[in-house]
Amino acid sequence: MEGLSKSVANFVVYVHPSQSKNVDKAILRELSSLLFKYSQAFDGVVLAYSVDPQDKCARILSGIHPYFGVRLQANLLIFSPKPDMLLEGKVVKITRDSIHCIVLGFSSAIITDENIRNELKYKTKHGEGVYVSRYHKRHAIKVGAVIRFAVKSMDEEILHISGSLIPANTGSVHWLDKHLVDAATESNRKETKTEEDVEMQGGETSSLNWNLDNRTFHHFTLAANAITWNKPKGLDCGDRPLLAAGLSSSANLDDTQKVYLC
C-alpha cells in the first residue's frame, strides 16, 4: 500500500518540573498526543514513533514556569495519502450508490457510484449488496473484503478519504493479487522458452547464436521455410549438416537447406 513513509525528526519536549522524577513518561505522553492527528509539520498523520534521547542533560528555561527542555530524536511512521496513490481498506458497508471502508483501522473512505467503473455491477445476494465484475465472476467486492482503490482527495480535518475504483488495477485485493501472480507466472513461462523453440512466421528471418555439443555456432539465419548459414570469410567447413530448430532428424532437407558446421 502506498501513502506510508518514515521520517526522522528532532524534537525539544518541554517538561514541567513536577514530572522531573519521570521524564521518560512525560516525553512519551507528549509524543503520544501527536498520534492519529494530521500534522502540517509532517504533512501527514503520525501513526507510530520510536524515541532516541540526544542528551542526558536538560536545559532549564527561564520564566514564570521553569520548564526544562529535553532534546530528542524520533523515528516517525507517517500516513500521507496523495491523489492517485493506491490504498487498501476493509469494506464495512455497500449500497447501490457507494462503497464504504476503513483504512488502517482509523480513517474512513467512501467510493461513490460515479467513481466505480462500469465493469463492477451492483447485485444483491442473500440479502446483502455486492459488486461483481461483468468479465470475471470471481472478482467480487462484499462487506468484509479488502479492496485496493485510488485516492481522489482527503479531508485532513476529519481524516476522511474520497476514493476511486476507475483504474483497472483497483478492486478486490484477493482477486487482484491472484490475477497478478497468474499473469506473472504466464509471463515467466514465455520468457523461459529457448531460442530453438522460436516459430518463424512466413517471410520473417531471425539470426541465432546457440551452443551445441559444447561448441558455439554463429551467423545462422532462419526463415519461414529455409535455414542458411552466412559462412565467415576464410573459414573452412566440414561436411556435417545441422538441422534447424523444429526439424526432426528424419526431415528431408535439400541442398539449399543444409547447413555445414565447422
* Euclidean distance between CA atoms 93 and 200, whole angstroms: 54
Q: Give the pLDDT confidence of 87-109 residue by residue, as tens digits.
A: 999 999 999 999 999 999 999 99
Using 50, 70 and 90 to split pLDDT, how confident is the model at 1?
Answer: confident
Mean pLDDT is highest, among 62-66, 147-151, 195-199, 222-226, for 147-151
Q: What is the mean pLDDT of residues 206-218?
A: 39
Q: Which residue did the predictor score with more confidence, 155 or 59?
A: 155
Sign of the torsion angle spanned by Cα atoms 227, 231, 232, 237: positive
Question: Using an 8 Å Cβ cutoff, are 170 and 147 in contact?
Answer: yes
242 pLDDT above the threshold of 60: no
Domains of the chain: 4-79 (3.30.1490.120), 86-189 (2.40.50.140), 194-262 (no CATH)
Q: Give me the DSSP letters along 62-127.
A: PSSS--EEEEEEEEEEEE---TT-EEEEEEEEE-SSEEEEEETTTEEEEEEGGGB-TTEEEEEETT
9 pLDDT above the threshold of 50: yes
Question: Using an 8 Å Cβ cutoff, are 23 and 13 in contact?
Answer: no
* Euclidean distance between CA atoms 204 and 183, whole angstroms: 28
* Euclidean distance between CA atoms 146 and 90, whole angstroms: 4
Residue 179: predicted pLDDT = 80
Tell me the pTM: 0.63
Task: Give phi and psi for 69, each to the nearest 5.
Answer: -95, 135
Fill in the amino acid letter for 110. Answer: I
Residue 184 to residues 115, 130, 181, 187, 220, Cα–Cα distance (Å): 28, 28, 5, 5, 32
Residue 166: predicted pLDDT = 96
Q: What is the mean pLDDT of residues 234-262?
A: 40
Q: Which residue did the predictor score with more confidence, 110 or 242?
A: 110
33 pLDDT above the threshold of 70: yes
